[in-house]
Chain A
C-alpha cells in the first residue's frame, strides 16, 4: 500500500522540475526583505552606516589607499582568495563587483577608526569603574520544568551518586548545554539573567546550587571555575563595542 501512495508523488516530483528563474533584481530583493519582515533590520544597518559616514566626515576621518589595500589583502588571505581569478570568481558568486567589496572594506575601516577616535581613551576608565562586570565564570546547568524534579536532581548530585554531566544529558531541557553534559561555557557574570547571576555570585567552585527559578524553568547550577576580571584584548574590544553601540543608539534616538 505504501508503494502505491508514494508512486504518484514521486512521479509528480520527477515531472515538475524547479522552474528556472532569472537572478533576483535589487527590487526583487528589497521586495523579499519586505514580505519576510526583514526590512527594518537591514534598513537599520544601512542607516547605521550612513551615520558612521557622516560622523567620519565631520571628524575628518579618512582611509588611505595603503590602509584599504592592506585590509583588502588581509581579507583575501583570511578567505583563501590568493589569486586574482579566485577573488573575482568569489565576488561574482557574492553578486557584487570589486567596487562594492572595496566599499565594504572601507566601511569596516571607517567604523573601526570612528570607534577608536570616540572611545579608545575611555576604555580604561570604563573598565576601572565597572571592573566587577567583567568577571567571568565557567558553569554548568541542568534545567527542568518541575520544581520537585529539580529538587530530586540536586539531592542526588549532592549525594554524589551520579555525575553532573550524566544527569544533564538525561534530564536537562536546556539546549545546547544539555548536549555538552550541562556545560554552558565561560560567560561574563554581567551577561547572565539576574536570577542566575545572583545565584552564582560568590559560590565556590564545584558546589551544587539549589534550583533557581527563571522564566525558562528551574536551574540546578554548578560553578566550574571563576576567572578574575582582566582587561585583555578581547575585553577591550568588547568594551569598545559596548560604548560604540551605546553611542549609535543614542544617535539613532536623536534622529527619531
Chain B
C-alpha cells in the first residue's frame, strides 16, 4: 500500500436543501394540497372502492384531476375489485403516470405478523412498485394493544432500504421505483375509536389519520381536527370518510321534521362540510359514477362553507339523529333555499 501525503478534505457538509411543503392559503378550498407532514400532494377528494366504482370511471376521475385512490385487498374486496383494473393501469409497473397518483391501501388484519402477507396481496393484485400510504383499517376501542404493535412496524415498513422493502423485492422482483420509494411510503390508520385517534395524533409512527365525519357525527372535530395546528408542518395528514352517511340514513335525505323549503345539502355540499373543517386534507368518497365525480368536482370552487352554513348543517345532522327537536331551533338559524 502506498503511504503518501493525503489531500486535505473539506469537513463542511453542504446540506441538501429540503423541499418544504407548499402551504395553501387558509381560506378557500384548494383542489390540491399537501397531506399533512408527508411530501404527498393530494386532491381534496379521494375515491375508495366501497361504492364499487368501475375501472373506467376510476380512470375518468384521474383524468378530471382526482389523484387519491383508496383500495382494500381484504374487507369488502368484492366491491373494491371493480376498480382494480383502473388502479393497475395508473399504478402498475411501467405506468407513465405513477408519480402523479397517490395510492392508499388498507388492511383490516391488525396483526404485525400478517403485515407482509397483506402487503404482498396488494402488490400481487395490483402489480405495483410501491404503496403511497398503507392504512391499518377499522381501529376500534378494543384494538389499542394490537394497534400499538402494528404501529411499531412503521420504521421497518416505511421508506427505502427497509427490511420490508427488501423482502417484498424478493417476492415480486425488484424495480427502480421500488428501490427508490420503498414498498410503503407512509403509514395511516382509519379510526373508529376517536379516543385512540386522539392519543396517536402526535406520533412519529403515524403519518395519516382517517376518521368518520359528517354533520350527524361531529365528534372528530373536537377529538381530532381541532386538536391539530394547521400551521404545524409536522402534523399528520387528515382524511375523512362517511361524509354523506349515518346509521340514521343518508344525509342527502331530509329529516322528516325539517321545515319545507329549508336547505337540503346535496352530496358535494356534504363533502365541502368535511373539507371546511380545520386540518382536513382529503375527503374520501365512495363515488360510483362519472356524474357523481363531475358534481363533486364542480362543488369545490364554491369554497368552504360559511360559519352560518356550518351551524345550520350541525342542526341538520342533529335533526337526522333525533338529537334535537325542531321546536327548539330558533328560526333565524334555519337556512331556506329553493
Contacts and interface: CB of A to CB of B under 8 A. Distances in A.
Interface stretch (A9-17, A71-79, A143-151, A193-201): A71-79
Interface string B95-126: 00000000000000000000010000000000
Contacts of B116: 128
Given A128-B163, A231-B163, A102 B1 contact: yes
A88 interface: yes
A232 B152 CA distance: 14
Contacts of A68: 1
Contact of B8 (A65, A73, A82, A231): A82
Contacts of A188: none
User: Could you say which interface size class chain B belongs to?
Assistant: 20 to 34
Nearest to A85: B5
Contact of B1 (A72, A131, A228): A72
Nearest to A65: B1
A83 interface: yes
A214 interface: no
Contacts of B152: 228-229
User: Could you say which interface size class chain A belongs to?
Assistant: 20 to 34
B3 A84 contact: yes
User: Taking chain B's interface residues, is the majority helix, strand, or loop, or is none over half, making it mixed?
Assistant: loop
Interface in B131-183: 151-156, 162-163, 166-167
Contact of B156 (A84, A98, A231): A231
A244 interface: no
Contacts of B5: 82-84
Contacts of A228: 151-155, 205
User: Taking chain A's interface residues, is the majority helix, strand, or loop, or is none over half, making it mixed?
Assistant: helix
A228 B8 CA distance: 41
Contact of A77 (B1, B2, B9): B9
A230 B155 contact: yes
B6 A77 contact: yes
A127 B3 contact: no
Contacts of A77: 6, 9
A31 interface: no
Contact of A73 (B6, B155, B166): B6
A72 B6 CA distance: 11
A223 to B, nearest CB: 15
Contacts of B3: 72, 84, 87-88, 98
Nearest to A83: B5
A69 B6 contact: no
A229 B156 contact: yes
Contacts of B6: 73, 76-77, 82-83
A69 B4 CA distance: 11
Most chain-A CB neighbours within 10 Å: which of B5, B9, B116, B151? B5
B1 A69 contact: yes
Interface string A32-69: 00000000000000000000000000000000010011
Contacts of B163: 124, 127-128, 231
Contacts of A230: 155-156
Contacts of B156: 131, 229-231
Given A84-B3, A229-B152, 16 more contacts: A68-B1, A69-B1, A77-B6, A82-B6, A83-B6, A87-B3, A102-B1, A105-B1, A124-B163, A124-B166, A124-B167, A128-B116, A228-B151, A228-B155, A230-B156, A231-B163
28 contacts: A65-B1, A68-B1, A69-B2, A72-B1, A72-B3, A77-B6, A77-B9, A82-B6, A83-B6, A84-B4, A84-B5, A87-B3, A88-B3, A98-B1, A105-B1, A124-B163, A124-B167, A128-B167, A131-B156, A228-B153, A228-B154, A228-B155, A228-B205, A229-B152, A230-B156, A231-B156, A231-B162, A231-B163
